[in-house]
Amino acid sequence: MQLLHIDSSISNVNSVSRQLSSEIVEKWRKAHADLQVQYLDLAIEAPNPLTRDALGFRIPVSDESLTAEQRAENEVSAALVEQVLQADVIVIGSPLYNFTIPAQLKSWLDRIAQGGKTFKYTENGPVGLLGDKTVILALSRGGIYSTSEAGRAMEHQESYLKAVFGFMGVTDVQVVRAEGLDMGAESREQGLAQARQEIEALAA
């Protein structure tokens, strides 16, 4: 079994999303002796945001008109999407930055959203191609967004990630959510305790 472990927080050892994603991976290690883990730290190895050159994966590699920069960017995209295609399970640690995901995680998603690889268009609309995978989201938030209509309207982290992976065909998206982390010591403890209960409840 192949697991792709991705972190995106810039907070290093102080990151709650990193702590949670690590605990999730450890749970899977204990449940699967044959588990092989690939790790990608997007705070260190983030792909460039999409540019015209970084759209090289939409052009056949054999096209001699590609520049050296386009070929280099194409290799990055090809490597990232291959990691995803090989994985049975994808664990993503993501904090909430300004109501959404980190820019480096968005750049990664832009690279793996490749027509013919992770989705395709048909005469009846788009069809996702990653339906056989499990995605587990380890999310951290300073405030509380999940318990009110106003909070849910402002939150574009969990909702966005579910939408993107749903578009790519993933139906098994599981969420571990720690929120209220910056609202005092008691709120932080409650948020962490709730998240760890959710980790224990995950089917590994």
141 is in an annotated binding site: yes
Q: How far is CA 179 from CA 10, 47, 59, 161, in A?
A: 18, 28, 42, 17
The 10s digit of each residue's pLDDT in 8-27 is: 999 988 999 999 999 999 99
- Cα separation, 155 vs 98, whole angstroms: 9
- Cα separation, 23 vs 25, whole angstroms: 5
Provide the pLDDT for residue 62. 59
15 is in an annotated binding site: yes
Architecture of the domain defined by 2-201:
3-Layer(aba) Sandwich (3.40)
End-to-end CA distance of the chain: 11
17 is in an annotated binding site: yes
| Domain residue extents for the chain | 2-201
- Cα separation, 110 vs 121, whole angstroms: 17
pTM of the predicted structure, to 2 decimals: 0.94
Provide the pLDDT for residue 67. 85
9 is in an annotated binding site: yes
Length of the chain: 204
The segments of the chain whose pLDDT lies below 70 read 56-63
